[in-house]
Amino acid sequence: MHSSDVSVRKIGERGVKPHMPVIDFHCHAGLGDGLTDPADTRADLSTYLRRATAAGIHRTVVFPTLNNEYASAMARVAKIVEAHPKKLIGFAMVSTKSDKGRIRPMLERAINKYGFRGVKVHGHQGMPTRELCDAARDLGIPVLVDVFDRPWQMELCAREYPDVHFVVAHLGSFKDDWRLQQVIVDLMVRYPNVYADTSGVRRLESLEQALRRVGPRRLLFGSDGPWFHPGLEPYKIRLLGLSPKDEALVCGGNALRILRMEHAAGSLQVAARKDSRSRSGQEVVPWPRRHLAPSRETHLPTTPGGRSRIF
């Protein structure tokens, strides 16, 4: 047994919808071609998949790690998904700069040939453009966006394309900049097609504010695997002290809805039930009960209009 893979108590083990499907909405996969950083070199899923299974994660959305050429990168990820069809959900990835003029055929190939269910773009390689959003709308797929410190542009996307689901990675800031996260929370309040994932967010107050002002239906659990341990990230969801119904939405229900996979909920619940039975005898690290709910100090004071006095 790997020392870093000690089983942790799963998300659903607090009387929370005991067999709810848990979907990780943010995970990188495959080879990169930049060799300048782990994010553009290699995202190996072998360890991630073992850890995700131990943590009670049933399905994971995967997309290519950073590349300069995404047609080949998507083909590589398609083979990874094909090797783990009951565990992985593929997403396309494009650069709105270097792939300009060919984004639609690239996405059509990803959806129709590989069975991918969404597209990821990274602000480092270009924010969403009309070309991308037109294709996403016509194909009926969500757009996962790492805004790369430019969250305000999402207002233009959300306003121009109200029928496209935009999921903002890291609640708008991998660096945990509360100012950028605040912009995304404000946009979520005003635009029902703006969502956010929890990957890499350390400032729990920002997640609490999003839940308080927007509700649980537009926040999605994500781990930012394989860089972050998928057994650690669920702790954040548990610490939010959500009701069983709301926790089920954040951990999987919202993802199933925007991926148009509600039909798969039944089979995923069966798999979760089998997983629960097969692991019922495993030792788990107990959750510190007194820390399950957010402390009173973390609740941000708000004005009558719902805006935080701190943010």
In a domain, residue 305? The reply is no
In a domain, residue 8? The reply is no
pLDDT value of position 203: 94
Q: How confident is the model over 95-118, as a mean pLDDT? A: 98
Structural domain count of the chain: 1
pLDDT value of position 275: 60
In a domain, residue 307? The reply is no
- Percent with pLDDT over 70 in the chain: 78
Q: State which residues form the domain around 248.
A: 21-266+278-298
Helices vs strands, H then E, count in the chain: 11, 10
In a domain, residue 53? The reply is yes
In a domain, residue 134? The reply is yes
- CB-based contacts of 58, cutoff 8 Å, min separation 6: 21, 22, 23, 87, 252, 268, 271, 272, 275
Cis peptide before 230 (omega within 30 of 0): no
The whole model's pTM is what?
0.84
In a domain, residue 141? The reply is yes
CATH for 179: 3.20.20.140
Q: How confident is the model over 155-175, as a mean pLDDT? A: 97
Q: What average pLDDT does the structure give for the chain?
A: 85
The residue ranking higher by pLDDT, 9 or 26, is: 26
pLDDT value of position 279: 52
111-129 confidence digits (pLDDT tens): 999 999 999 999 999 999 9
In a domain, residue 102? The reply is yes
- Percent with pLDDT over 90 in the chain: 76
In a domain, residue 13? The reply is no
CA 283, distance to chain mean position in Å, is 28
